[in-house]
Structure 1
Amino acid sequence: MSADCNELIERASRIVDVAKKMGADAADVVVSEGASNSVSVRNGERENAQASENQGFSLRVFVGAKVASVSTNDDGDVERLAERALAMAKVSPENPYASLADSDRLARDYPDLDLHDESDVSPEALVARALAAEEAALAVKGVSKSSGASAGRGSVAFALVTSGGFAGGYRRSYSSVSASAVAGEGTAMQRDYDYDARSHDGDLNAPEDIGRSAGERAVARLAPRQIETRRGASVIFDRRLATSLVGHLAGAISGTAVARKTSFLRDKLGQQVLKAGLNVIDDPRIPRGASSQPFDGEGVSSERLAMVEDGVLTQWFLSTALGRELGMSTNGRGARAGNSLGASPTNLILEPGEKSPAELMAEIGTGLYVTELIGSGVDMVTGDYSRGASGFWIENGEIAFPVAQLTIAGNLKSMFMAMTPASDIDRRFSVAAPSILVEGLTLAGR
């Protein structure tokens, strides 16, 4: 991989220049280059090993109000790439909203967010990490077998050049370890997992801790019961699952969903959508953050935003085109996905509350502590929510026994208004949330 992004920026600039000379009114190019290694083990033996190197080039051209994008993994014939893009643009329908970002919104100076480290992790070291995680999981009393463990290391460089005057790039590295364990035998088996992923290899949790946690989580789920159906139940979503609720919020306030009228919050801008006092922050400038970025997919400066402030929805996630379609301005959340450009969050954070999960359990007395969700029964147009679940039943303010074969049902509009965040936030990943208490849900059991 290139030592820095300068070569990628030069290659992107060359493609932009060619597209302009061949008749594009405007153009931008994304160039990426990456390499990765990963291994998986099972029962003390290496099960799989993968190594990959890849590069990609994506060219977007504008001809009047028409736009088209093409991509390739080889820039050996730039003229042909530009010719294809221009031919596609000329037969495309007009898009009155699509354009490059306004020049006054482009990032002229952006911070080093320390997203890359030079650690050289050999395939042998990855195998050792995976084996250590698996061994720790198997050492937990009650674990009957391993479902495998894995470790990975990779890096990617990214460059964006636009004919509107932006040229920039950055590098990102990542390391990961995961383990999955099985407890019990036959039809009584229970499975669980744990994992970690960081941009800097030295920040990664010890493989032994990850494996041990996977084993303990699996054992704790043994001998689950099925509870009676009930309405108006209190449910605490473990922090690993609480991120899914924040993710549903992010999907509902995406500019794409609002513009397409596929969001149940499309008419709620400026209104209360969470309890008073709750804040949801999107912060792309967290050093070493999982989804940190110095600029967005259009070269617009990425700044910290309060998406929900004191319970009130204040923003949509917007790119330049989505902003124009909705009569607003981009807020630096343009995101590339293949040949398309939409809008998405970066490091999305539901700020924590003051009480621990144990204190919330003590307050509700009886309820459900959810540790696994099954299926994807969420209607983003209406907000209707119905998902299979398992976890632990709470009695007398404490965890009493594991439960399974449940369905949680409600509507996200009312669920959001009934959320109480705990204090145990996990900030490692791109969506950060503490455990969340939601009251007034329906639990379908036996």
Structure 2
Amino acid sequence: MSQSDADLLERLNNVIIKAQTAGANAADLLYAEGTSVTMSYRLGKPENLDRAEGIDLGLRVLVGKRQAIVSSSDCSDAALDELVERAVAMARVVPEDQFCGLADSEQLANDIPDVDECDPVEPSATVLEARAHDAEAAARDVPGVTNSEGAEAGWSRSRVAIAASNGFAKVRVRSSHSISAAVLAGEGTGMERDYDWASVVHGEDLPDSAEIGRKAGENAVKRLNPKKISSAQVPVIYDPRVAQSILTHLAGAVNGAAIARGTSFLKDRMDTSVFSDAITIVDDPLRPRGLRSKAFDGEGLATSRKNLIEDGTLTTWIMDLRSARQLGLKSTANAARGTSSPPSPATTNLYMEPGSVSPAELIADIKSGLYITGLMGQGANLITGDYSRGAEGFWIENGEIAYPVSELTIAGNLDTMFRSVIPANDLTFRFGTNAPTLRIDGMTVAGK
């Protein structure tokens, strides 16, 4: 049976005390336990029902300016004693890091707001089966769909606790519900695959399972008989399911660790215009039921909403304590961490505020252009800003979606691309990072 939060924190604090007794000047301990259930359906029949449970923990100790981390999935008293011994021994011999260290006590989160990150209801296997069945059945009912990779319904709950020698000791519990479906349309070598999915914190916020399936089927059928196009320089429209990748590249370029290393093309751009003055990009860890919401970060600091880009201007880096110390700044409380590595900066619920025009209006004046629904590869060089990725989607002619296209490469430079971004008004919160439909003019599209 799982320990109460109070008992768990007491046990973690006892490990911290043992580490200090063994010679550590400071220490913290991250504990994570999780349960997940997944039900899959394929070709009208249940395929798998899987349940997984696990526990992991990571002890970080500091001896002077040296730190070491040891992780384990064994929480027995003997294993924890060995964990302490190994961590302290390692910390005595690793190189010094003048920027490592825990938060000062006055930096720690005290009042913890409720971000509604845990659904108390665990769905039964019957409920998960119904979700998966309905999604796959609806996908296969779409005319033109010829095969199915299946549908999957999942649920998970995790409990994470952090205890540290600076006095921080908190627990957070979060849940997740998900549905996905993937199907194929067409025959033989002309088959095309597509998908749809949804992930939410509370089950009541899930979209209708059949709607997920229908979208997956319709997406696949729309992709049939793609054409190859000639290379050109044209406006490009990013569908919302790929538009968030533009924000992901921005997040990497303003990551405090990259700025401290000097490995970002934006390293000298603080307080300057990076996007047009119509663009505001927000990181909001306190968004209720957000997929990446958290009231405190991985170092125990209170989180807060912040505008990374405000009216086009870059206003802040994304920092944990270490990168903030390197830069001579204050942490933005964006530390993320696992049990086997030290904290590092990461965004939470990152999104671009919507624009004022509809997606149709965004496309209306495009004589020839590309509407992207899928991207391949990681082709963004954050040192230079050079950008090149494989793409697929639809060709635009005279303001209308004309036909599917594939085997394309799109290229540009992120600095120029950021300045050209025009957002539509269709922002929805489906992922941890979200953007509305985006238009970027002047992209190079390489085809046949």
Task: Report the CA distance between 1:185 and its aligned residue.
Answer: 0.7
Conserved 8 A contact 1:5-1:157: no
Q: Which amino acid aligns with 2:423?
A: P
Task: Report the CA distance between 1:339 and its aligned residue.
Answer: 2.2
Partners in 2 of 1:102 and 1:425 — Cα distance?
38
Task: Report the CA distance between 1:422 and its aligned residue.
Answer: 0.8
| Other-structure match for 2:430 | 428
Conserved 8 A contact 2:407-2:447: yes
Aligned partner of residue 96 in structure 1, secondary structure: coil
Q: Which amino acid aligns with 1:40?
A: S
- Deviation track 1:311-355 (CA, whole Å, cap 9, x = no partner) reads 111111111111001111111001103322101000001111011
TM-score, with normalisation over the residues of structure 2? 0.97
Q: Which amino acid aligns with 1:334?
A: A
Task: Report the CA distance between 1:261 and its aligned residue.
Answer: 2.3
Partners in 2 of 1:97 and 1:55 — Cα distance?
30
- Residue identity over aligned pairs, in percent, reads 47
Q: Which amino acid aligns with 2:20?
A: K
- Deviation track 1:242-263 (CA, whole Å, cap 9, x = no partner) reads 0011101001111111122222
- Deviation track 1:214-240 (CA, whole Å, cap 9, x = no partner) reads 001111111111111112x10000000
Task: Report the CA distance between 1:27 and its aligned residue.
Answer: 0.7
1:204 aligned to 2:187? no
Aligned partner of residue 74 in structure 1, secondary structure: coil
| Other-structure match for 1:55 | 55
1:251 aligned to 2:255? no
Partners in 2 of 1:142 and 1:226 — Cα distance?
22
What is the aligned residue count? 445
Aligned partner of residue 378 in structure 1, secondary structure: coil
Partners in 1 of 2:227 and 2:13 — Cα distance?
62
| Other-structure match for 1:306 | 307
| Other-structure match for 1:388 | 390
Partners in 1 of 2:188 and 2:245 — Cα distance?
31
Q: Which amino acid aligns with 1:383?
A: G
| Other-structure match for 1:41 | 41
Q: Which amino acid aligns with 1:326?
A: L
Moved more, 75-84 or 316-325: 75-84
| Other-structure match for 1:120 | 122
1:260 aligned to 2:254? no
Conserved 8 A contact 1:8-1:31: no
Partners in 2 of 1:219 and 1:427 — Cα distance?
26
Moved more, 90-99 or 251-260: 251-260
| Residue among 389, 398, 401 paired with 2:400 | 398
| Other-structure match for 1:19 | 19
| Residue among 174, 180, 201 paired with 2:182 | 180
Matched ranges for 1:84-233 at <5 A:
84-231=86-233, 233=234
Conserved 8 A contact 2:365-2:398: no
Aligned partner of residue 12 in structure 2, secondary structure: helix
Q: Which amino acid aligns with 1:85?
A: A
Q: Which amino acid aligns with 1:306?
A: N
Distance 1:3 1:435, change over 3 A: farther
Aligned partner of residue 140 in structure 1, secondary structure: coil
Partners in 1 of 2:8 and 2:425 — Cα distance?
43
Aligned partner of residue 343 in structure 2, secondary structure: strand
Q: Which amino acid aligns with 2:148?
A: S
Q: Which amino acid aligns with 1:43?
A: L
Aligned partner of residue 364 in structure 2, secondary structure: helix
- Deviation track 1:251-299 (CA, whole Å, cap 9, x = no partner) reads 1111111122222212211211111121111000011110000100000
- Deviation track 1:390-417 (CA, whole Å, cap 9, x = no partner) reads 1111111111111111110111111111
Partners in 1 of 2:262 and 2:47 — Cα distance?
46
| Other-structure match for 2:239 | 238
Task: Report the CA distance between 1:7 and its aligned residue.
Answer: 3.1
Distance 1:442 1:353, change over 3 A: same
Conserved 8 A contact 1:8-1:32: no
| Other-structure match for 2:73 | 73
| Other-structure match for 2:333 | 332
Task: Report the CA distance between 1:204 and its aligned residue.
Answer: 0.8
TM-score, with normalisation over the residues of structure 1? 0.97
Conserved 8 A contact 1:40-1:49: yes
Task: Report the CA distance between 1:19 and its aligned residue.
Answer: 0.9
What is the root-mean-square deviation in Å for CA atoms of aligned residues? 1.3
Task: Report the CA distance between 1:3 and its aligned residue.
Answer: 7.3
Partners in 2 of 1:130 and 1:75 — Cα distance?
35
| Other-structure match for 1:318 | 319
Partners in 2 of 1:87 and 1:22 — Cα distance?
9
- Deviation track 1:3-46 (CA, whole Å, cap 9, x = no partner) reads 75333322221211111121111111111111111122221223
Q: Which amino acid aligns with 1:287?
A: P
| Other-structure match for 1:357 | 359
Task: Report the CA distance between 1:132 and its aligned residue.
Answer: 1.2
Conserved 8 A contact 1:274-1:312: yes
Q: Which amino acid aligns with 1:297?
A: G
Conserved 8 A contact 2:115-2:288: yes
Moved more, 10-19 or 193-202: 10-19
